[in-house]
């Protein structure tokens, strides 16, 4: 990659920034309800090489896209059309909006986090670039601040109303640990992933093109239900504050869709808290059962699955060594996450690919991933 940087910019890179994609073990569609999530940064990563300039121009070469964005920091503003340029310019704009005066730079960017596969490629890119731009401009930021600014870029520059989980996982990850994150207080707890298990991410081959509009629809459905419930229970700030007792007692107030959407949030938050105990105690079978339960809830109550994801989970249930499986990410395509016996991880990955190809005629990929460190910036 150093040679590529020199070939494009005719000088040497001075710093390296990297940030992982993320896999969410449990806690799907709970972050924007101020709930609990249980993600891990993974060893599929975005890497940026950079060298500061003496002016306010930034040149960012994406090796994945095969194109270069050149822009003045003085001219940055969200574009109406969201393309790859938005995801690499947004972090610079967000840093500037925070009052951090940036220097220009030359940047070479590459990533092996699959785009649109539910492994948070966008957060990986934005966290990586926030870390890089802060470093080349002499700005000191904590990992949590990097995550917050990267989320600002996603929300306002890329027009994606996401919660904070993806950026926090990518920025604050810890090797061999998952993160229990309270999305209200931003309190984090690193929970060790037992050495007896591994994580396999299986690609459905379906890109989640519907996820954006359906994401907003789910938010609206939950908000409608919460407005009705707050009329009786003013202390309910967010769906995270609901209990099943309250939800069942007030079920007549809600449409069936509102009830099921909120039931997913309540039960998924409960599964995250149970997962902390199961992982901490080495109860990998119990952790696996939580993943199966999560997928049933996501498919039935929140309705964000699709036939291909359901099939991958069904196949996983018949593969030796799989402890639990569910969709991960926004849904409507992308990947499943499989908690598997570590000794069989490679065999499980191969088996999932073969069985899925036999059922669909579509040959995709299944990858063993490791819980990895968060954003890392080093001087070269």
* Three-state secondary structure of 83-123: CHHHHHHHHHHHHHHCCCCCCCEEEEEEECCCCCCCCCHHH
Structural domains of the chain, ranges and CATH numbers in brackets: 2-192 (3.30.230.10), 198-369 (3.30.70.890)
pLDDT, residue 225, reads 98
* Per-residue confidence band for 183, with pLDDT thresholds at 50, 70 and 90: very high
Kindly tell me if the per-residue pLDDT of 117 is higher than 90.
no
Q: Which of 170, 135, 179, 173 is nearest to 150 (CA)?
A: 170
Residue 210 has pLDDT above 60, yes or no: no
Average pLDDT along the chain: 95
Name which of 222, 292, 241, 213 is nearest 29 in CA terms: 222
Q: Please give the Cα distance from 348 to 337 (Å, whole number).
A: 12
Q: What is the pTM of this model?
A: 0.89
Considering the candidates 3, 67, 106, 166, report the single residue annotated as catalytic. 166
For residue 208, pLDDT over 70 is answered with no
Catalytic residue status for 310: no
Task: Give the Cα separation of 75 and 36 in Å (integer).
Answer: 38
pLDDT of the residue at 160: 86
**Model confidence band, residue 211 (pLDDT cutoffs 50, 70, 90):** low
**Each residue of 274-333: pLDDT tens digit?**
999 999 999 999 999 999 999 999 999 999 999 999 999 999 999 999 999 999 888 888
**What percentage of residues in the chain have a pLDDT greater than 70?**
98
The yes-or-no verdict on residue 55 having pLDDT over 60 is: yes
- What was the pLDDT predicted at 329? 82
């Amino acid at each position: 990659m150093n040679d590529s940087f020199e070939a494009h910019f005719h000088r040497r890179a001075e710093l390296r920034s990297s940030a992982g994609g993320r896999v969410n073990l449990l806690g799907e569609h709970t972050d924007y309800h101020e709930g609990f999530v249980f993600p891990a940064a993974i060893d599929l990563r975005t890497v940026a090489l950079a060298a500061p300039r003496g002016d306010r121009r930034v040149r960012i070469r994406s090796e994945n896209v095969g194109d270069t964005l050149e822009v003045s920091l003085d001219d940055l503003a969200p574009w109406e059309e969201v393309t790859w340029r938005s995801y690499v310019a947004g972090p610079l704009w967000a840093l500037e909006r925070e009052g951090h005066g940036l220097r220009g730079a030359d940047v070479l960017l590459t990533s092996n986090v699959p785009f649109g596969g539910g492994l948070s490629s966008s957060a990986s890119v934005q966290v990586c670039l926030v870390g890089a731009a802060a470093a080349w401009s002499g700005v000191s930021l904590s990992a949590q601040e990097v995550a917050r600014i990267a989320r600002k870029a996603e929300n306002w520059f890329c027009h994606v109303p996401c919660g904070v989980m993806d950026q926090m996982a990518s920025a604050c990850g810890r090797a061999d640990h998952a993160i229990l994150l309270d999305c209200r207080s931003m309190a984090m707890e690193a929970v060790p992933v037992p050495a007896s298990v591994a994580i396999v991410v299986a690609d459905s081959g379906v890109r989640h093109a519907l996820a954006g509009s359906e994401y907003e629809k789910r938010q609206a459905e939950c908000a409608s239900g919460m407005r009705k419930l707050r009329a009786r229970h003013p202390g309910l700030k967010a769906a995270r504050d609901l209990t099943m007792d309250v939800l069942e007692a007030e079920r007549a107030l809600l449409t069936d869709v509102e009830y099921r959407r909120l039931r997913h949030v309540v039960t998924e938050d409960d599964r995250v808290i149970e997962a902390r105990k199961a992982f901490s105690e080495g109860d990998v079978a119990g952790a696996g059962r939580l993943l199966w339960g999560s997928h049933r809830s996501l498919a039935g109550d929140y309705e964000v699955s699709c036939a291909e994801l359901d099939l991958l989970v069904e196949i996983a249930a018949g593969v030796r060594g799989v402890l639990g499986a569910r969709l991960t990410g926004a849904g409507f395509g992308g990947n499943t996450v499989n908690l598997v016996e570590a000794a069989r991880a490679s065999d499980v990955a191969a088996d999932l690919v073969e069985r899925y190809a036999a059922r669909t005629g579509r040959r995709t990929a299944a990858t063993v991933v490791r819980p990895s460190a968060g954003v890392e910036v080093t001087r070269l």
